[in-house]
Structure 1
Amino acid sequence: MSEHDLLDLEGQVAFVTGAGQGAGRAIAHILAQHNAGGIAVNDFVIERAETVAEEIRQLGIPAAAVQADVGDYQSVATAMDDARAQLGPITLLVNNAGNAGPNSQMGLSPLFWETEPDDWAPFFHTNLFGVMNCCHRAMQDMVDAGRGRIVTIISDSGRVGEARLAAYGAAKAGAAGLMRSLAKEGGRYGITANCISLSTLEPQMDEQQLEAFYANDRIKSQLSRYTLRRFGQASDVANMVLFLCSGAASWITGQTYPVNGGYTVTQ
């Protein structure tokens, strides 16, 4: 990259969870485009990870496809060890994997008092314990290097609350609290830890399916709540991740940035 690129990642190795599709794929691509030294593409489905890793290699950047369920500590440990062996120490960590786990279809739950404790577990498994597992395994590399960036994708359901998403919101809020704590623990070692809070992203559909999606009255009503009158794109997320991973954000830590098209403007 140009020496004038404020977003140059200076050859650092990134580990991106849930990077086999959607926003995670876009994040992996944009980090590669700004001089990352390598991208570890994590996904629960190894075929998705391998596809994205090959796309990164085509950009001239080393990449490793690493399978892991982030909520399983030993699975994360194995994946990160594999990534280190192929690419080197990890100093950029993007906790993007979310929803209710690798095989979930995200949707509105019953009211909280109508749920059972077993219903809550998948949300905490991925959105809180998954983030804890990845941070725990990556931070020693950052401490040793004297620098590091942790970016965790949360949700407005965790930042301001959302009906019928209580367990999901609680897990995301917990991840945000973890980032604030790690920001204080890691600051003296040059490590920053921040969150990006999302609302709805446009679903991955072909043109005909999207046309039908936006014709739905419920979707029209939901869209009217966004100041910018559109749902998010994967690139919207990736751009903010790049900024927070770069030297341009070197004095920013312990913060949560809403990237939500004006869905909420609450502090």
Structure 2
Amino acid sequence: MTFTLDLSGRRAVVTGAGRHVGRALARALAEAGAEVGVNDLYGDRIDDTIQLIHDDGGAAFRLPFDVTDADAVEAALADVGTDILVNNAGNAGAEELTGVPPRLLDSKPGDWDKFFRVNLFGVMYCTRAVLPAMVERQWGRVITIVSDAARKPQAGMTAYGAAKGGAAAFCRAAAAEVGRNGITVNCISLGTIPQEQWEMADGPSEVSEHRQRAVREYTLRRFGTPEDITGMVVLLASDRGSWITGQTIPVNGGFSFSL
């Protein structure tokens, strides 16, 4: 018997799919047979991801909108007929490039807004927009990418961790509401998956030292790659994941452990 994760006939939407983790997730869902709506703020990134999916033999279409604009989200997703939503768009702040997060006392309340608009409200807007069609079909999958910054306290990640923790709480509550409609809602909690710019940045010596200290916190002694996430997302999106809901599942190289 062959174990397969087949998404043929399903329509997926991946936010922030123009690069990095989002791009890998869009390609993996398409490889499993889904038609994938590729969202990003930047049209050239969307086109690059779609080209890669087409080169892989998959199907994809453009969905350019800003996840922080509730009206734009509703207009873009109202008629898509989304079966699978992957809330991937996120903002981790300057640490994406420097590797050294600012501490709470070095930030101001105005600095926190960007984290909540993307990481929390963006998730809420997109999820709310796709649920009516899922309820009508009595089938749906919502998968939200959160962070271990919400699960394991980390200095310098206060606003980001709070926003990601809020997204996880929102998804648990949503799972409780829509489970009776055949819809599962889950989160995947990531450890560090460096951006290309993060890896290539020529920063001061303390940046390199910070990275070396950080990687030692991982049981597997390495940071993650976008491809490390794809298997769990495809599983949760498939019929094989139909009895998993309301969970925050760590995919983190052993950065943290939980029962």
Q: Which ranges in structure 2 are unaligned for 5 or more consecutive residues?
A: none
Query: Which residue of 1 is the match for residue 25 of structure 2?
Result: 27
Tell me how large the CA RMSD over aligned residues is: 2.6
Question: Mind listing any 5+ residue stretches in structure 1 that lack a counterpart?
Answer: none
Q: 1:206 to 1:180 in 2, by over 3 A?
A: closer
SS in 2 for 1:18: coil
Question: C-alpha separation between the residues in 2 aligned to 1:23 and 1:183?
Answer: 24
How many residue pairs get aligned? The number is: 256
Other-structure match for 1:95: 87
* Residue of structure 2 in register with 1:18 after alignment: 16
Give a deviation string over 1:214-240, Cα, whole Å, max 9, x none.
x93332222111100111010111121
Whole-angstrom distance in 2 between the partners of 1:79 and 1:4: 38
Is 1:42–1:68's contact at 8 Å kept on the other side of the alignment? yes
1:24-67 deviation per Cα after TM superposition (whole angstroms, max 9, x unaligned):
0110111111111x100000111101111122233343311111
The aligned runs of 1:1-267 (5 Å cut-off) are: 4-36=2-34, 38-81=35-78, 84=80, 89-100=81-92, 108-204=100-196, 209=200, 216-267=208-259
Question: Distance between the aligned counterparts of 2:137 and 2:153, measured in 1?
Answer: 37
Percent of aligned pairs with the same residue?
Answer: 44
TM-score in terms of structure 1 length: 0.87
- SS where residue 89 of structure 2 aligns? coil
Moved over 6 A (4+): 210-213
Cα separation, partners in 2 of 1:212 and 1:4, compared to 1, 3 Å: farther
Q: Distance in 2 between matches of 1:160 and 1:41?
A: 31
Task: Find the aligned partners of 1:140 and 1:106 in 2 and give their Cα distance.
Answer: 41
Contact 1:13–1:92 (CA<8 Å) still a contact in 2? yes
